[in-house]
Amino acid sequence: MRHMSDPMRIFDRALLRRRRERAAPSIQRVTPVLEAAAEILLDRLEDTSRRFSRALDIGGRGSVAPALRARGVDHVVSIDLSPRMAGRAGGLPLAADEEWLPFAPASFDLVVANLSLHWVNDLPGALLQIRQALAPDGLFLASLPILGTLQSLRTTLAEAEATLRGGISPRISPFPELRDGAALLQRAGFAMPVADRDRLDLRFRTPMALIADLRAAGEGNAVLARDSRIPPRALFPLAFSTLPSQDGSVAMPLEMVILTGWAPAEGQPQPARRGSAQARLADALGTVEHKAGGPTRH
């Protein structure tokens, strides 16, 4: 067990579990957003002729398991930190921690994580466990919020807190960058890793409606370094007063990275050996190749 000061510990997982438990009865408030993100993610299934029969839904909150069943996946296990949330997910429910998956190797041929892995402390370790839970040639699909999500809210809260308290504390979860996606998959041993960018353009009637939806989804601040004191009464009014809005409504796009990776198997396409190409890209493009520090090559 890691010590609380371990730099790998960014999130308070016990607090996250409690917030998911409280949010379970109100999850339908944000179902349209979760389902829209799941549809973007599961569209990747149309790119393969492979058919899946044993799927693991990680933190889908009711958005993934029904959609998988509609696509012909017969057996779906839904896990969540929160037992109540797992019970509402739509698959065979199991309360489990994404950081310690309780499954034997090769248990599934499909694993889907829709907007859930951004609360994991050791993401490379979690991805490695997911890959081990996949049968050879099994598919992993995940969507994660990335840098840019909630950015205007992050900025206005920081500015308001600096004004009121002379300093800032983390009030919104840190998000990974798009460029990290494929490297994380490769590090975990996935074959043919792909990281794509996508987004949902969301608009909220008021800033408080945005906060209410985050709470309804169980997405409250669970950063270990958060300030546990009660926020100043003026914090949110001051932050909201500078939040960009149009006719009182607030645009807050959900920027996502879509991760796709396969469990290695014999017969899968392999990348060509470096330097084995028989033709030059410059020739195909009808242009000139310039080597760094060397003469022009025609």
pLDDT band at 151 (very low <50, low <70, confident <90, very high): very high
pLDDT, mean of residues 49-62: 96
Q: What is the pLDDT of residue 2?
A: 44
- pLDDT tens track for 173-186: 889 999 999 999 99
- pLDDT tens track for 202-230: 999 999 999 999 999 999 999 998 888 88
Burial per residue of 178-203, b for 16 or more beta-carbon CB atoms within 10 angstroms, e otherwise: bebbbebbeebebbebebeeeebebe
Q: What is the pLDDT of residue 283?
A: 60
Q: What is the pLDDT of residue 234?
A: 94
**Does the pLDDT at position 9 exceed 90?**
no
- pLDDT tens track for 65-106: 999 999 999 999 999 999 999 999 999 999 999 999 999 999
pLDDT, mean of residues 183-209: 96
DSSP for 140-167 reads: EEEEEE-TTTTHHHHHHHHHHHHHHHSS
- pLDDT tens track for 96-127: 999 999 999 999 999 999 999 999 999 999 99
**Does the pLDDT at position 64 exceed 80?**
yes
CA angle 67, 69, 74 (to 5 degrees): 155
**Does the pLDDT at position 187 exceed 70?**
yes
Pick the residue with more confidence: 291 or 187?
187
Q: What is the pLDDT of residue 229?
A: 85
Q: What is the mean pLDDT of the chain?
A: 89
Q: What is the pLDDT of residue 289?
A: 53
Q: What is the pLDDT of residue 11?
A: 95
Q: What is the pLDDT of residue 288?
A: 55
**Does the pLDDT at position 198 exceed 50?**
yes
Q: What is the pLDDT of residue 7?
A: 46
Domains along the sequence of the chain with CATH = 13-148+174-216+254-293 (3.40.50.150)
pLDDT band at 1 (very low <50, low <70, confident <90, very high): very low
**Range in 11-20, 30-39, 164-173 the model is least confident about:** 164-173
Nearest-angstrom CA–CA distance, 159 and 161: 6
- Please choose, from the candidates 89, 210, 182, 189, the residue with its C-alpha nearest in 3D space to the C-alpha of residue 132: 189
Q: What is the pLDDT of residue 217?
A: 95
CB atoms closer than 10 angstroms to residue 62: 23
Q: What is the pTM of this model?
A: 0.86
pLDDT band at 246 (very low <50, low <70, confident <90, very high): confident
**Does the pLDDT at position 298 exceed 50?**
no
**Does the pLDDT at position 59 exceed 80?**
yes
Beta bridge partners of 144: 257
pLDDT band at 267 (very low <50, low <70, confident <90, very high): confident
**Does the pLDDT at position 291 exceed 70?**
no
The phi, psi pair for 91, rounded to 5°, reads -110, -170
